[in-house]
């Protein structure tokens, strides 16, 4: 349920409400909006608790939360969440761009990528250090050495580092180096991993599982939010369908659908979403036109020789052209590239 507090509620009244919620074995999430403060109550609540809450001082009204996801819902927080990590801003009418190689391969490769994508306007630098590969024989990433190289690149360019964490026990290590923790598509429903990033103070980019519904993605986000981490962005990276002309099928209707139901910003990954570099520029522009809050794009100095995902990776020149197009599209739809 949502407990809507009266305007000008005192901290004592708020504390009384959260204490009462806890005494019922439920969990309160206080959300301070620009117009009102609400307490989202999660847990297996009974109807009887609702009437009890309405009588507490400072309470304006008590409403049920209709969506299966609670803290992620627009019902609980009408204003969009804006995520800021260093210079990277995702949400609030700004389109934040995260770009870089699929995997960190070497010092030269990540530094050259960071410089090029920053010059083209990407405030976020991506690069996998821990790679979740379909085959155990494929390149698994440079691990901590990769994290160190990403941090070195950030030192020079000032970009926010976005990198994947694949196991709960690695969260403290990756969080020491990264500004944004990426949860990969294969791990969207790894609930212990979601809980671990929920306890951490870094923003999270949650990718949609290729066979997950959007409701399942929102419930996965709910695990992170329920852990106390409110800095969550959702990433549509394509789903598996009967189609084979693209690596995955990239449904852009997800953008306005999600934005109507959740306050969490929505990022599009046209690289994994298509699997083909020649399709990425159009789908990046289409994502911006659809109102995406951010883009994550794979870029490499030499895509043909990339250690992973070369076929869907842009070179520096095409990335720069893509950014120019996206900037013009953003302007046309009343948004701004961050
Ligand atoms: C990646 O971003 O390189 C990646 C592995 O993505 P996904 O989890 O979407 O497959
Ligand atoms: Mn990749």
Q: What is the pLDDT of residue 50?
A: 67
Q: What is the pLDDT of residue 43?
A: 86
Length of the chain: 338
How many whole angstroms from 177 Cα to the centroid of ligand 1? 19
**% of the chain with per-residue pLDDT over 70:** 98
The CATH code of the domain at 83-337 is: 3.20.20.70
By the 8 A CB rule, do 303 and 313 touch?
A: yes
Query: From CA 336, how far away is CA 338, in angstroms rounded?
Result: 6
Q: What is the average pLDDT across 10-24? A: 94
Residue ranges of domains in the chain: 2-63, 83-337
Work out which ligand 1 atom sits closest to the CA atom of 235: 9
Beta sheet of 59-63, edge-to-edge order: 27-32, 37-42, 2-5, 59-63
Q: What is the pTM assigned to this prediction?
A: 0.96
Decide: 270 in ligand 1 pocket, CB within 6 A.
Answer: no
DSSP string, 140-156: ---THHHHHHHHHHHHH
Looking at the CA of 134, which ligand is closest? 1
pLDDT band of residue 48 (cuts 50, 70, 90) is low
Query: From CA 60, how far away is CA 52, in angstroms rounded?
Result: 13
Q: What is the average pLDDT across 205-212? A: 98
- Atom 6, ligand 1: residue with shortest CA distance: 184
Q: What is the pLDDT of residue 33?
A: 86
Q: How many CB atoms lie within 10 A of CB 136?
A: 6
Q: What is the average pLDDT across 198-223? A: 98
Decide: 185 in ligand 1 pocket, CB within 6 A.
Answer: yes
Q: Establish whether domains 2-63 and 83-337 are of one fold.
A: no
pLDDT at 192 over 70: yes
How many whole angstroms from 2 Cα to the centroid of ligand 1? 35
Q: What is the pLDDT of residues 301-333, one digit of tens each?
A: 999 999 999 999 999 999 999 999 999 999 999
How many whole angstroms from 314 Cα to the centroid of ligand 2? 12
Q: Extract long-range pairs of 30-39: CB within 8 Å, 24+ residues apart.
A: 31/71, 31/76, 31/77, 33/77, 33/78, 33/79, 34/79, 35/78, 36/4, 36/5, 36/7, 36/60, 37/5, 37/9, 38/2, 38/3, 38/4, 38/5, 38/76, 38/77, 39/2, 39/3, 39/5, 39/14
Looking at the CA of 133, which ligand is closest? 1
> What's the mean pLDDT when you consider all of the chain?
96
Looking at the CA of 296, which ligand is closest? 1
Q: What is the pLDDT of residues 91-129, one digit of tens each?
A: 999 999 999 999 999 999 999 999 999 999 999 999 999
The CATH class that applies to domain 2-63 reads alpha beta
By the 8 A CB rule, do 167 and 193 touch?
A: yes
Decide: 272 in ligand 1 pocket, CB within 6 A.
Answer: yes
pLDDT band of residue 47 (cuts 50, 70, 90) is low
Of 16-25, 141-150, 157-166, 205-214, the poorest mean pLDDT is in: 16-25
């Amino acid at each position: 349920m949502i407990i809507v507090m009266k305007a000008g509620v005192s901290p004592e009244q708020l504390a009384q409400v959260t204490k009462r919620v806890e005494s019922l074995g439920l969990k309160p999430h206080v959300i301070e909006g620009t117009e009102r403060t609400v307490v989202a109550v999660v847990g297996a609540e009974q109807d009887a608790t609702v009437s009890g809450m309405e009588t507490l001082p400072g309470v304006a009204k008590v409403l049920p939360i209709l969506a299966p996801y609670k803290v992620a819902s627009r019902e609980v927080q009408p204003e969009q969440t804006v995520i800021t990590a260093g210079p990277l801003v995702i949400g609030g009418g700004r389109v934040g761009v995260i770009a870089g190689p699929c995997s960190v391969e070497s010092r030269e490769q990540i530094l050259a990528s960071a410089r090029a994508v920053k010059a083209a306007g990407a405030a976020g630098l991506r690069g996998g250090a821990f790679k979740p590969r379909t085959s155990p024989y494929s390149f698994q990433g440079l691990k901590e050495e990769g994290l160190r190289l990403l941090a070195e690149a950030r030192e020079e360019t000032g970009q926010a580092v976005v990198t994947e964490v694949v196991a709960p026990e690695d969260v403290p290590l990756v969080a020491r180096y990264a500004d944004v923790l990426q949860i990969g598509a294969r791990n969207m429903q790894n609930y212990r991993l979601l809980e671990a990033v929920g306890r951490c103070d870094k923003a999270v980019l949650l990718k949609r599982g290729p066979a997950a519904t959007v409701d399942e993605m929102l419930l996965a986000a709910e695990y992170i939010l329920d852990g106390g981490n409110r800095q969550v962005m959702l990433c549509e990276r394509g789903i598996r369908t009967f189609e084979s002309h693209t690596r995955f099928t990239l449904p852009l209707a997800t953008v306005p659908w999600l934005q109507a139901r959740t306050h969490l910003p929505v990022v599009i990954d046209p690289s994994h979403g298509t699997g083909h570099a020649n399709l990425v520029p159009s789908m990046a522009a289409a994502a911006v036109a659809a109102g995406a809050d951010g883009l994550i794009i794979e870029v490499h100095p030499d895509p043909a020789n990339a250690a992973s995902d070369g076929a869907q990776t842009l070179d520096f020149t095409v990335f720069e052209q893509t950014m120019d197009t996206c900037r013009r599209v953003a302007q046309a739809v009343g948004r701004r590239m961050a």
